Chain A
Amino acid sequence: MKLIHADGHPQQQWALTNHYAQRIASILNEHIEDVVLVRTVAQTLKQCTGEWHNDLDRKLSKIRVLYTRHNAEENIPVPNHVTELLEAIHELYHQPRSALYSDLKEQIDSLRGAVLERLAFELIKHRYGENDECANSRRFFDRYGKVVTLQEIDLAALSHYPRHLEGYECKLKALSIEHHDCIDLAYLYRRALEEDYQAQVGVVSLDPSRLVERRLRRLSAALCIHAFGVDALDELQYSPFER
């Protein structure tokens, strides 16, 4: 099995390397156990779209209130990582338009998606070493050089020693999961087993796992496809092969 860079979407590459998308993902990764932070930010990213984000700053100020503690003597400052995270989210929505995009709405939506892809990457990358591959936006090829995944996989990881393979589609909302996503993931899983890899494939989403699971069931997705909703993102940190 091999991983090949999927370079068909320059906008996506731009979004994935965007400073603010990376910073947001990095802070969320460091504080993935903070349920309040992860879920309120996830809701904000889902609700504030490129089309409609007039109330972004109000939402950010409300998240800030949740971290503004005070006792009788003094105000306890909002933790630095929360301030930095909220500022990065504000910046994500207020950057000048890149020439790659025809309008700002499209750019914002692309960046929102990139945050989730980068977060999933941050959560799993620590278990892949120098000789392995772990990256966003890749296509899998089998040992004969034949393409395994028709579309690029949002997050792919491959290790030859030990033989481990992971592939994830990242969707802000469960409703965005399509039938072809499930077909690709199930086929990748089957080919990985045929080449003697231990494999995990799944969908990573900012919606709750219950919604993702039911969406997968409705699409008659193969049982090998795992659901990692916003309540299960922290599970991605742990290797599925050591359980």
Chain B
Amino acid sequence: MQEKQRTNDQKNHLRSLPSHERYLVAEITKALQAITNSSPEYIEQLILTIPAQCREAAIRLAAQQFVHSMTLHMLQLATTFHRHAEEEGIEEDERDATLQDVKIEAYSLMDLTRRLAVDTLETLVRLAEITESIQDLSQCRSAEEMHSWLYDLPVIYQESLEREQLVQA
């Protein structure tokens, strides 16, 4: 239900972009489809079949995918928040101030990929569990709920990873 709503929102929003930007987004999508696959199945196959000497690199790559997915999740929350906040009576200056804050937090999440200390299957599993749990916890039913999650999510994620030494301090 949430996924369907999100897809409809994305389509509607895409229609409102200038035609040149729509063209560029379509080109990027085409290129993403053409370049090397990074689906879960592909990563799984890669880790299972890659020569032992390169396995650690594959694990590090998979770890980065988890952190990227959290950044993407946060940006999706921000997008949906922005779209529904007005309907829920959240004032314009509040929406703007929140999105300014989100921008900074999104960069700090992206920065986590550089600090990752995940190089074994055990630590990768733990990173996966934490990422999945926090994304599930932050499923929201309203812009009001998203509002506070946009602030809590980066802190909870970063703190969870630091506590388990999955990122370097």
Contacts and interface: CB of A to CB of B under 8 A. Distances in A.
Contact of B101 (A46, A47, A70, A210): A210
A58 B151 CA distance: 22
A185 B46 CA distance: 61
Contacts of B122: 70-72
B24 interface: no
B27 interface: no
B133 A35 contact: no
Contacts of B4: none
Nearest to B126: A69
Number of contact residues on B: which range applies?
Answer: 20 to 34
A105 interface: no
A231 B155 contact: yes
Interface string B104-146: 0000000000000000001000100110111011101100110
A46 B159 contact: no
Interface residues on chain A, size class: 20 to 34
B54 interface: no
B1 to A, nearest CB: 13
Interface string A3-15: 0000000000000
A237 to B, nearest CB: 19
B99 to A, nearest CB: 12
Contacts of B144: 173, 175
A154 interface: no
B136 A35 contact: no
Contacts of B94: 214, 218
A65 interface: yes
B82 interface: no
A144 interface: no
B152 interface: yes
Nearest to B91: A218
B35 interface: no
A39 B91 CA distance: 25
B130 A208 contact: no
